[in-house]
Structure 1
Amino acid sequence: MRRVRAVLRQRGDAGVTITELIVTMALLSVVTTLILVMVTTVARNFTHERTATDNAMNASNGMNELTRVIRSGTALQLTGVAEQQPPFVSAGTNSVQMYVYIDADSANPRPLKVQFSIDSAGRVRETRWLATTSKSPWTFSTSSSVRTIARSVPAGAPQLFRYYDAGGDELTVPDTGTLTAAQIDLVASVQISLTVQSDTSSRVDPVTLQNTVGIPNLGVSRIKP
């Protein structure tokens, strides 16, 4: 019994060997590395999913506003101008200005002059001018209100607006940057292509939404025989 106790006492005092310690440390390193890789992967996937969702929501909100306003374009009689003016004041690849009836007071409806354009920060900005007269012929205020309807449009994105006549033929924007007066008179529909990229690292693909909007107030049928 004394010998057994002595052997057990010697083993208890000896502790772990250097080999056992090295093996334990190696196993802990492997487990720690696996955990870190797992956490990093989950965090990256979550970030990508969130960015993709943000892109989709941003593009959807912007597209809804662009569609809603452009569809409401209308021809107007302006103060001091003999002929009725078409809905579009100017029409370029990334900027459009037009007359619309939208968000009007039902008791005293007045049109708005609205402009959409992309600024240097990649924001789609909506500018509005209120009508100062209470009935036709219309005059618009020189002061305006501005708000952002979409963010993070990347440089090199497809052009925001394309214009088509009643027959479906595209009206090409000339080098001046906007359609001519003769072309503006022919516009019957607008194709909107809105691209959004919130991830500056470009690890997440951008979201592009496209919609072709007719202008019912023109009385032009877009249904072909």
Structure 2
Amino acid sequence: MSGGVERRGGERDRGFTLMELLVAISLLAIVTTLITTMVVALAQTFSRQESEQDSSRTAAVAMQRISTVIRAGTEVPRSSTWQPLPAFESARADALAVNAYLDPATATVGPTRVRLEVNTAGELVETRWAARRSAGDWVYDTTPSLTRVVARDVAPRGTPVGGSPSPALFTYLGAAGAPIAPPASGELTEVQRREVVAVRVSLVVQTAAGTDAAPAQLVSTVSLPNLGLTRTGI
């Protein structure tokens, strides 16, 4: 009987075999890999959603500023000639300069020339020039009164959005609503600039590098309600 007791005690003390340890370690590795993969996927999803929301917020703020500037565009009368300055001083696919009345006190402040341009760093930059009276006309200063970055991470033209390349930032529309085709230089002529009554703005912002997060795109057609009106305080 004592021999039988010794055998049972030996079975209790023998521990795990090498095969059992290998199986346990393999199962533990599989479970750990599954948990790690799930955590990484959740982190990537969260990061992607945060980047997409950040892009949307940035695009919304920039679009509001662009719309405000364009909507304030106005022709500026000149005493030296019957033809006023056109609302647009320059008009390109990625930049425009507009004569605008951004301050309600137009009798004393006068118009402001505002340029919106996307630089090589993907920044939408706003530059302003103040105007002053000279021989009865408004003349713009040569030194800007303000330069600031409105938005960063503006994606270049042709960025894939929803399976299609993004269009130009600015598309200029005539009275019939049709786009005005620029000449080979890419700059609208003065005659063409006088025909612009609205601008289609296609803004694409991508705060995440590469394809980690989808870019945010906003498209808006902004009209110029002040065309044909005189607001110079004369």
Instruction: Report TM bin, short chain.
Output: 0.7 to 0.9
Q: CA deviation at 1:12?
A: 3.5
The answer to whether the Cα contact below 8 Å between 1:110 and 1:135 also exists between their aligned partners in 2 is no
Mapped to 1, the partners of 2:170 and 2:25 lie a distance apart of: 62
Q: RMSD of the TM alignment (CA)?
A: 2.5
Cα-to-partner distance string for 1:133-160 (whole Å, 9 max, x where unaligned): 4996222222222212222223333211
| Pair 1:75-2:47 in alignment | no
1:204 corresponds to which of 188, 209, 213: 213
Mapped to 2, the partners of 1:2 and 1:65 lie a distance apart of: 94
| Pair 1:27-2:31 in alignment | no
Show the counterpart of 1:84: 84
Show the counterpart of 1:217: 226
Cα-to-partner distance string for 1:100-151 (whole Å, 9 max, x where unaligned): 1114558944321100111111111111112244996222222222212222
What is the letter of the counterpart of residue 92 of structure 2? G
Mapped to 2, the partners of 1:162 and 1:128 lie a distance apart of: 22
Mark the CA change 1:43 to 1:135 in structure 2 (over 3 Å): closer, same or farther. farther
Larger RCO of the pair (alpha carbons < 8 Å, separation 6+): 2
What is the letter of the counterpart of residue 21 of structure 1? L
Mapped to 2, the partners of 1:89 and 1:109 lie a distance apart of: 19
Report 1:1-150 matches (<5 A): 2-3=2-3, 5-77=5-77, 83-103=83-103, 108-133=108-133, 137-144=137-144, 145-150=146-151
Mapped to 2, the partners of 1:76 and 1:22 lie a distance apart of: 85
Which runs of 4 or more aligned residues in structure 1 lie more than 6 Å from their structure 2 counterparts after TM superposition? 79-82
Show the counterpart of 2:190: 181
- Residue ranges of structure 2 left out of the alignment (5+ in a row): 159-166, 230-234
Query: How high is the TM-score relative to the length of structure 2?
Result: 0.84
Query: How high is the TM-score relative to the length of structure 1?
Result: 0.87
Cα-to-partner distance string for 1:153-207 (whole Å, 9 max, x where unaligned): 2333321111112222321111122111111111111111111222222243222
The answer to whether the Cα contact below 8 Å between 2:157 and 2:169 also exists between their aligned partners in 1 is no
Mapped to 2, the partners of 1:21 and 1:136 lie a distance apart of: 95
